[in-house]
Structure 1
Amino acid sequence: MSNLLNSFITELRRGTLTLAVLSQLRVPQYGYSLVQILEKSNIVIDQSTLYPLLRRLEKQDLVVSSWDTTESRPRKYYVLSEYGKEILEQLMKEWEKTSRELYILLKGEEGDAPN
């Protein structure tokens, strides 16, 4: 794969990873569980990408975190805030709208694109 193509793929994935992570934080998750859930859906996210993303989402008040120290190994759990839930709903609507529009454009050779 060319460097240019890799660059485009990275750009495409960047926004979709945020949406994917937010979508899985409707219930509390810790970092490794989040990685596993995403990988089951064939969405690969490196921990060096995930943790900075979670910190950014927390700083933006979309996610709140708390420590669970009941197990032998303490874990930091992340979950959507009320604001995060609102933003996720809006992002999902926008994703669906954009996906439909892009699908029509990509099929354009069949003459299905709107005028």
Structure 2
Amino acid sequence: MSEDRLDKMRLELRRGALVLAVLASLRQAQYGYSLRKSLLEHGIDMDEGTLYPLVRRLADQGLLNSEWQQGEGRERRYYALSPEGVELLEKLTQEWQLLNGALATILETGK
């Protein structure tokens, strides 16, 4: 298999998971760099060119609240789940768990 094909499939596989990871990470307010660092500490490497547009899109959809706060000598925009974001995270988590369980069974049995 070509490396290019693998990269495309890997990207496809990661897309939905990244949204879920960002939503779950924003249960507590974080600014962009702290969010990226937190994701990386959990094994999810997300470059800024992917993370910041995703966070802005989620905020535009009403799933995140944001506010400017003074932190470590400078202002930073902090993001956290809105009530709609909390509700969506709960539903997506359930969907993820069901899908993950089904995939685990398929991958284990090969059927």
TM-score normalised per structure 2: 0.94
Partner residue in 2 for 1:9: 10
Bigger share in strand: 2
Aligned-partner SS, 1:11: helix
Gaps of 5+ in 1: none
Q: Which runs of 4+ in 1 moved over 2 A?
A: none
| Partner secondary structure for residue 74 of structure 1 | strand
Aligned pair count? 110
Residue 108 of structure 1 and its aligned partner are, at CA, apart by: 1.9
- 1:51 corresponds to: 52
Task: Please name the residue that 2:64 is paired with.
Answer: 63
How does 1:21-32 map onto structure 2 within 5 Å? 21-32=22-33
Asked if 1:92 is matched to 2:93, the reply is: yes
Q: Distance in 2 between matches of 1:29 and 1:5?
A: 32
Structure 2 matches for 1:76-115, cutoff 5 A? 76-109=77-110
Give me the identity figure in percent.
Answer: 45
TM-score by length of 1: 0.91
Question: Structure 1: how far apart are the matches of 2:5 and 2:71?
Answer: 47
Structure 1 residues 69 and 99 mapped into 2: Cα distance closer, same or farther (>3 Å)?
same
Which stretch has the larger CA shift, 69-78 or 46-55? 69-78
| 1:39-88 deviation line (CA, Å, top 9, x unaligned) | 11110010111110011001111001000035421100000000000000
2:94 partner amino acid:
K
